Structure 1
Amino acid sequence: MLNDLYFEEFPELESQRLLLRQLNLSDASEVQGIRSDERVKVYLDQERHLSLQQSEESISKKLKMYKEKTGMLWALIEKSTGKFIGDFAFFKIDHKNSRAEIGYTLKPEFWKKGWMKEAMMCIFNFGFKKFNLHSLEANINPGNQNSRRILTSMGFQKEAYFRENYFYNGDYLDSEIYSLLQSDFIKDSKNKAKIS
């Protein structure tokens, strides 16, 4: 059973290099910057944010999800500079089955430097050990090698491949579905702790 206390006060988290706080409307210009960047948009099959208003509306929807207990969205803040570098979400939170889908974006200048993996480790520790999630799901564009690589490195397993199940920008696109169980994450975390 999920721990609903975290819907009364947003869970701010901290890792070695990151502060993870609730995304809010004042982050709209940063969100717009990421979601209008061509490098990010290649595999982010969602509408481009052409205006600040679009980003504000998107954030407002996510804040509403939090109030409705169906989502949590973190801003990823680099500790040393206070700079916004990306975001991470639990959404479609399924209380009955203790499951959530994940979504994430990161500024391209921070790619391949371990930032998202660090954020995931911190958020998954919270999600599985405190929030009481049983499983996580990730839905990616099959061409997104970077997402596949990070998900599998975190212990996610491929569960499905759906052909042309998602209509976006005039085309039907394929999807790959990955999942991570609480038991696999905790076991993997213990094994990594023993090795290090």
Structure 2
Amino acid sequence: MNINEACFQHPQLETPRLLMRKVTFKDLEDMHAYTSSQEVTKYVPFPTHKTLEDTRKFIDFILEQYQINKKLLWGIQLRETQKFIGTIEFVSFEPTHNKAEIAYILSDDYWGNGIMSEAADEVIKFGFQTLNLTRIQARTFKENIGSQKVLEKVGMTFEGTLRKSMFLKGKYQDINIFSILKGEYTSQINNPRT
């Protein structure tokens, strides 16, 4: 499957605790609960949602991207309770170079439970095994230690800091970049982490 086919088909992904599927307007209130939190949105590019309408417009944008097959973004839902708690996506693709970048956001009610590591593991697996990517990377604010722990837990390597490379949240931000290569992923599968 190539990237265009993946965006068109947008397959669901499942893990022991999670169902990852397309976002819908049924997720509006659950999504607003965390996108309106300053703690949660501290390290993401978009501003904190002030009203339900802000979140509605955000979902509108996601749905428009689905329609034109330009978005591979999964809503993260707990299988046990069906609660919608975040999103994870391939935020960018470079088909010529066979690489992609992941990004994610999770309700702070579920931080520290390995939820995002579980979701990211599955998306990375999809990227390498189904999309046949060579490289998957992620960027985080330098201060976002929690996100960096997630990336390290899923086997990514810290490559360096892009100093003052993005103007976000009213200032120039230092951005840390992490990556994992297909060969490294295959090695991890054959020699699982303890």
Normalised by the size of structure 2, how large is the TM-score?
A: 0.90
Unaligned runs of 5+ in 1: none
Equivalent residue of 2:96, what SS? coil
Is 1:190 equivalent to 2:194 in the alignment? no
Alpha-carbon deviations, 1:104-138, whole Å to 9, x = none? 11111211111111111122111110122221121
Secondary structure (helix, strand or coil) at the match of 2:84 reads: strand
Structure 2 counterpart of 1:146: 146
1:181 aligns with 2:163: no
Q: Residues 31 and 85 of structure 2 are in contact (CA less than 8 Å); yes or no, is this contact kept in structure 1?
A: no
Displacement of 1:68 after TM fit?
4.4
Q: What is the aligned partner in structure 1 of residue 54 from structure 2?
A: 54
Deviation sequence 1:25-69 (CA, Å, 0-9, x none): 332222222111122123234311112222222223333334444
Alpha-carbon distance between aligned partners in 2 of 1:23 and 1:106, rounded to the nearest angstrom: 14
Alignment of 1:1-196 (within 5 A): 2-192=2-192
Rounded Cα–Cα distance in structure 1 between residues aligned with 2:188 and 2:132 = 17
Q: Give structure 2 stretches of 5+ with no counterpart.
A: none
Aligned partner of residue 160 in structure 2, secondary structure: strand
The AA in structure 1 aligned to 2:35 is R
Question: Percent identity of the aligned residues?
Answer: 28
- In structure 2, the CA distance between the partners of 1:185 and 1:63, relative to structure 1 (3 Å rule), is farther
Give the aligned CA root-mean-square deviation in angstroms.
2.0
Of 75-84 and 59-68, the range deviating more from structure 2: 59-68
Equivalent residue pairs, number: 194
Q: Secondary structure at the match of 1:167?
A: strand
TM-score, length-scaled by structure 1: 0.89
Superimposed CA distance per residue, residues 164-196 of structure 1 (whole angstroms, 9 cap, x where no aligned partner): 12112321111111111122112112200xx77
Aligned AA (2:37): D
Shift of 1:24: 2.2
